[in-house]
Amino acid sequence: MVFYGLRKFARELGLEVQSGVVCGIYERYAVSMWEGNGYKTFSISAKFEEELCNKMEIELMDLEGNYRRVVYIRFIEGVLEARFLDNPGTMKQFRNCFFDVLSVLDGYEIPDADICPKCGLPMYGQGVWSLFKIYGRKSCLYTHEHCAAAMEREVNRQIEWDRQHPMSKEEFIEAMMEIHGDESLEEIEKLYEEIEEPDTEQRRMQRRLPGWVGALCGSVLGAFILAVAHGFLGLAAIYFSWLCGELVGAGYKWTKDVRGKKGSIIIIVMTIFSVFLAAGFRVMEMQKRDYLVYIVGGSLISLIGVADVIIGLFMAKRDDKGMQRKRLQKRK
Ligand SMILES: [Zn+2]
């Protein structure tokens, strides 16, 4: 989303707003801006040489001190990015800082926006804007179409490679020792256990039963308890249907089966099934309306018991995608 303040600033600079970001060429710079979740960001993409970046970074760090709302002004993966905390009055600082950063850049010989930041060749006005999203981070780049596509492929290949080649415990410890030499070996080992999931194959060997069997047992047990509770409490028993979710989850966990996406869906389905089953036990004594309330209300409440599974499913989905690129169209 781009709200009023930023939208107005974009218009002043002659930049376009599309797909929730501001982008365009201002003077000789490829500029983009966006905001969300309590921050505002502007970024400048250009062919920045590393040596130049190091020199500029010192000047930019001085600038950081001038603005209370600035979080950082840094080069991230070769793109200059300035981020601000979003509070009333941020827009004024954002605006001043933007022009200050440009005047710093003016002091260096930076190739203009028509030079592709990826390959360093001119784009002859044929550059495209891409919005990259990776692990919830946004970034905008103005490059050749094929350079942006190549970059997306390359990053995703790297992510896939990392996924298929998880670090061994020894490598992990070695890497951590290098970064945090002062931490004890014991702590690092503990951290490793937390981060690294055991090998899928290895876990499959250990499993007691297929996960769905455990989930089904939990589901039937939950339904039974719920039906008994219904005898005492009537319709109010549905408040306890979250217990079905807990039992299904515990049943699945007991089998020591690999969970993954499939397992998560089994758990969610079995949880709702549990409520239907409980209602089935009591169907003779319920009126149609009560039955519906029981099914709908009970199902929703039962999902509270598996909230962590549902959240996990969403997170996994997002991570699975790796880097996504959205090509921003030029307005005709
Ligand atoms: Zn290029």
Locate tokens 């709302």: which residue?
69
Q: What's the gap in Å between 120 CA and the centre of ligand 1?
A: 6
How many angstroms separate the most distant Cα atoms in the chain?
Answer: 83
The topology (CATH level 3) of 4-161 is: Yope Regulator; Chain: A, (3.30.1460)
3-state secondary structure of 29: strand
Q: What's the gap in Å between 330 CA and the centre of ligand 1?
A: 18
Q: What's the gap in Å between 48 CA and the centre of ligand 1?
A: 14
Structure confidence by residue, pLDDT tens digits, 194-213 = 766 555 566 666 778 888 89
Q: What is the pLDDT along the chain (332 residues), one digit of tens a residue?
A: 788 999 999 999 999 998 889 999 999 999 999 998 889 999 999 999 988 899 998 899 999 999 988 999 999 888 999 999 998 889 999 999 999 999 999 999 899 999 999 999 999 989 999 999 887 788 999 999 999 999 999 998 988 888 777 777 777 777 777 776 666 777 777 777 776 655 556 666 677 888 889 999 999 999 999 888 888 888 888 888 888 999 999 998 888 887 778 888 999 999 999 988 888 887 777 788 888 888 898 888 988 888 888 888 877 655 556 888 888 876 44
pTM of the model: 0.62
- Mapping DSSP onto H, E and C, the string for 123-192 reads CCCCCEEEEEEECCEEEEEEECHHHHHHHHHHHHHHHHHHHHCCCCHHHHHHHHHHHCCCCCHHHHHHHH
Q: What's the gap in Å between 146 CA and the centre of ligand 1?
A: 7
Q: How many Cα atoms are found within 13 Å in the side-chain-facing hemisphere of 60?
A: 22
**What do you get for the CA distance between the two ends of the chain, in Å?**
21
- Provide the pLDDT for residue 199: 58
- Provide the pLDDT for residue 14: 94
Residue-wise DSSP of 59-76: HHHHHHTT-TTEEEEEEE
Q: What's the gap in Å between 145 CA and the centre of ligand 1?
A: 7
Q: What's the gap in Å between 141 CA and the centre of ligand 1?
A: 11
- Provide the pLDDT for residue 332: 44
- Provide the pLDDT for residue 198: 57
- Provide the pLDDT for residue 256: 82
Tokens of 300: 């929703």
For 145: left if phi > 0, alpha if psi spans -120 to 50, otherwise beta; the answer is: alpha
Q: What's the gap in Å between 127 CA and the centre of ligand 1?
A: 8
**Are 302 and 245 spatial neighbours (Cβ–Cβ below 8 Å)?**
yes
Beta strand ranges found along 77-127 (DSSP E): 79-85
Q: What's the gap in Å between 47 CA and the centre of ligand 1?
A: 10
Q: What's the gap in Å between 114 CA and the centre of ligand 1?
A: 10
Distance CA 83, CA 93 (A): 11
Q: What's the gap in Å between 133 CA and the centre of ligand 1?
A: 19
Residues with CB under 5 A from ligand 1 (ion): 116, 118-119, 144, 147
How many beta carbons lie within 10 A of that of residue 291, not counting itself? 16
Q: What's the gap in Å between 68 CA and the centre of ligand 1?
A: 37
Locate tokens 């600035």: which residue?
70
- Provide the pLDDT for residue 306: 87
Structure confidence by residue, pLDDT tens digits, 5-37 = 999 999 999 999 988 899 999 999 999 999 988
Q: Report domain extents, the chain.
A: 4-161, 169-196, 208-318
Tokens of 159: 């992510």
User: 184: buried, middle or exposed (CB in 10 Å: 19+, 13-18, 0-12)?
Assistant: exposed
Q: What's the gap in Å between 138 CA and the centre of ligand 1?
A: 20
